[in-house]
Amino acid sequence: MISKKTKTIIQPTLLLLLLCGFLAPGITATTIDSSNQENLIPSALVGYVLDQSQAVTNNHRFTIYGWHLVQSFTPSMSILSRVEILCEIIGHQAENEFLELVIKDTLSLEAPALATATLSYAAIRNPKLWIEFTFENITLTPEKTYFMFLSQSGYGDCYWYGIYDEDYYARGFAYGYNKQMSKWENLSEETIFPDFDFCFKTYSLGENTAPEIQSIEGVSRAQRQIPNQLNITAFDAESDELFLYIDWGDNFNSGWIGPYASGEKIIVNHTWVKIGRFTVSVQAKDIHGNIGDISTFVFRSSYEQTNRYPFYPFFDVFSLLKWIQQVVFKR
């Protein structure tokens, strides 16, 4: 039997503890996976500048088996450091089979190569992906036509993707050399597949310094469904104007925004709808396309009971406390 004096002491204490428990901020919840960074530029490309690109495909492709496949391109930069092509590897027979990419200034199998790069089939883990070939800075003449030759050794089955029906790359053509018939074909002028071009990207190793994210500032913990502000500062050694790409860690991103001045305090806002831990990834590039590395900021969103009445949580908690008082203390 609880005395009146005991009740007088217990009731305020219990009510205070319950009140603190229900109204305490920052209740933790399950962490949300925020690993989606597919639109961020990989760290391996930091310092590279994209020059020529035809990245669109309607899933049309040509096999390399029995062919030399060629895409011509017209660079706007004087250095070629890296080439990517979109391929699908169906299978290969031996570990020593490989792809070979050759850069030439003439559409001829006998012409000397400006550079050659090889990639073992065994090193290609995914069946369909952008395959990278790197070179020791090839010197090119801007606005002159060059050719990339793709072939293979052995009996692997590789397909190079492209697109037709619309000329997505007007600065080059696609060609194929049929080994069995010993003749060239202009694949861009085929009646059945007009205006065909292969998927490729060419890069120049940046001649200036890549920009960097100097700071990301903001609150690291707040309630969900409330806009939160981040202050970002990026720096470019040549004082070039900058663009930012922000992946918010919740499957949303800003796209490339800007331009901004080097050293400018850039204010951005975002609302996290769900509760959890989010890794915000930020990347900068200058007006020449020179891309910097990724910097991160961790944000945690906590529980908030939402209702159109701002004081509803207090009314709801006090109703519960009143019920507890009536049931436990029979008052």
- Range with the lowest mean pLDDT among 97-106, 108-117, 297-306, 308-317? 308-317
Assigned token pair, 175: 């060609």
Complete domains list, the chain, with CATH: 48-205 (2.60.120), 208-302 (2.60.40.10)
DSSP state of 291: B
> Which of 43-47, 88-92, 320-324 has the highest average model confidence (pLDDT)?
88-92
DSSP state of 270: E
- pLDDT, position 30: 25
Q: Does the pLDDT of residue 35 top 70, yes or no?
A: no
pLDDT tens-digit series, residues 147-203: 999 998 877 678 999 999 889 999 999 999 999 999 999 999 988 889 999 999 999
pLDDT tens-digit series, residues 274-308: 999 999 999 999 988 888 889 999 999 987 654 44
164: amino acid identity, one letter: Y
Q: Which residue has the higher pLDDT, 146 or 32?
A: 146
Q: Does the pLDDT of residue 264 top 50, yes or no?
A: yes
Q: Count other Cβ atoms within 10 Å, centred on residue 227.
A: 9
What's the mean pLDDT when you consider all of the chain? 81
pTM of the entire predicted model: 0.63
- Phi then psi for 315, rounded to 5 degrees? -65, -40
Q: Which three-class secondary structure state does DSSP give residue 317? A: helix
Q: Count other Cβ atoms within 10 Å, centred on residue 284.
A: 29
pLDDT tens-digit series, residues 208-228: 788 999 999 999 998 888 999
Q: Rounded to whole angstroms, what are the CA distances from 228 to 9, 44, 75, 84, 301?
A: 42, 31, 43, 38, 10
- pLDDT, position 90: 77
315 band by pLDDT with thresholds 50, 70 and 90 = very low
318 band by pLDDT with thresholds 50, 70 and 90 = low
